[in-house]
Amino acid sequence: MAPAGLACFDFDWSLIETDSDRFVIEYLSPALRKKLDERAMQWTDLQNECLKEFHEQGGSSQLVRESLTKVPMDSDMIKTCHLLYERGWDLAIVSDANSVYIESILEHYGIRHLFSAIVTNPAFWDAEGRLHIHRLTPADVPHGCPLGVCSLNICKGQEVDKLVQQRLGPNSANGSTLKMLYVGDGQNDYCPALRMKNPEDLYFVRKGRSLEKYLEKNSAAKDALPSRIVYWSSASDILKTIQ
């Protein structure tokens, strides 16, 4: 049975109320947090390097896990996820965070079961308790996004294409479309929004973040969106719109 629609969420500053990468590193070590802004390195690689240093300095996996229970999430965003799920929507996360952070935070808030897909950078714990994070798209296999707004390690538009294809199945060849909504805040959340084909689709753009600024500066990019744009400041704005 086809879902009522596909609801895609970015994670940092979208589903949750912070940047999980920065939040965790700052919780673990203010000195390492400072290095995030000083080192010239691809972001995912930098996260992995900071966690490596934390482990080498005697940092425990328990502290990393503890930090993930402190990440803030708006109760109205949790209500939004439950409401969409109850209405038969398929929920997915498309994020530049990592699988361990996302899985752990969703489990903490009791909503992991609401999401059918999590597309993000893979992460794992090794036998010594060190957390490793790798790029979703390896450095030697460029994803080839032509827009120039996606991160090197993930083209969110291409990943949403895969999610839509999986849900439409063979009917997609006949021009079928899927009702969609997308919640995002960053410039790399523009590419996936182009996958929404209907004027009744909802594109939730967080106010004051880089995505809103990108659309303000690029009228052609904004005009290319067939979906309805809903600017939001808090999760209550999304919940009210969906209700």
Residues with active-site annotation: 10, 12
Distance CA 37, CA 204 (A): 28
Distance CA 124, CA 190 (A): 29
Torsion angle of alpha carbons 233, 98, 24, 55, nearest 10°? -170
Any binding-site annotation on 96?
yes
Specify whether the CB–CB gap between 97 and 21 falls below 8 A.
yes
Any binding-site annotation on 223?
no
Any binding-site annotation on 12?
yes
Q: How many CA atoms lie within 13 A of 135 on its CB side?
A: 18
Any binding-site annotation on 74?
no
Specify whether the CB–CB gap between 47 and 133 falls below 8 A.
yes
Q: How many helices (H) and strands (E) does the chain have?
A: 11, 8
Any binding-site annotation on 189?
no
- DSSP, res 94: E
Q: Which residues are annotated as a binding site?
A: 10, 12, 21, 96, 185
* Binding-site annotation: residue ranges for substrate: 21, 96
Q: Write out the binding residues for Mg(2+).
A: 10, 12, 185
